[in-house]
Amino acid sequence: MENNTLRWFNIDGIMQSAMSISEPSSLVFPHMLFMAIPTYEITTVNRVLDIGLGGGGLLRFLRDKYPQAHIEAVEKSQHIIDLYRQFFNPNEIESVIHCKDAHAFVTQQTTTLPFDLIVVDIFDSETLLPFIFESQFYSNLKDLVAKKGWIALNTVFTKREQISKLSDVLTKIFPDTTIYGFKAAQFANIVWVIATDNQALNPIWQQQAFFSTSKIDGLTYLLDD
């Protein structure tokens, strides 16, 4: 569907992806702005992995910001990939897109060239992903990211107990870093920003974080819901 300014598609009656017709590389949804935080912190970007293609919002943004980088995307639905190529890739930029389940991809993927940045934005209707609290999934992500790389992870949580549960998992996998969580007002999206080698997040971003969590200090909420 589209109007004069946006083109979008729905899954199960919920808008899942939208693109500005006049500025295709701009980020439309609030949580995607938080997903982009590592792009303002990272110094070297040669390889990027985008898990959860959807309508390609993050892929278009990353392509525009890092035109020389090698970028790969993962999407389990061939139908979604076809929609992206037909309606959400106006500049017809060729990209490496793996039609594969995210969990299977990170489990089976081996690389001697790690990714400097990994963004994970996957959705399963209105239910939690079956592996969202699975340690092995995040351990596999850690194996794919560079030593001084960054990971941005989008989750959809409605309860603080869910945040606490994933916090316990992530701080065990990344024990030497402080992880920050960001929440857009009136949305259930929680974006986790992880610096894999404990690079310091700019204080400007820290002041906007909903919570911070680390192996040493535990989970601390910094803002109200």
The full set of domain ranges for the chain reads: 23-52+106-221
pLDDT band at residue 124 under the 50/70/90 scheme: low
Distance from C-alpha of 14 to C-alpha of 24, rounded to nearest angstrom: 21
What whole-number distance in Å separates Cα of residue 46 and Cα of residue 66?
8
- Tell me the mean pLDDT in the region 78-89: 96
At residue 211, the pLDDT reads 98
Active site residue 121: yes
Q: How many CA atoms lie within 13 A of 147 on its CB side?
A: 1
From CA 32, how far away is CA 156, in angstroms rounded? 13
User: What's the pLDDT tens digit per position in 50-64?
Assistant: 999 999 999 999 999
Kindly name the residue from 50, 101, 121, 225 that is annotated as catalytic: 121
pLDDT of 30 > 60? The answer is yes
Matching CATH number, 23-52+106-221, of 1.10.3470, 2.60.40, 1.10.287, 3.40.50 = 3.40.50
pLDDT in tens, 95-123: 999 999 999 999 998 777 999 999 999 97
Residue 214 has pLDDT above 60, yes or no: yes
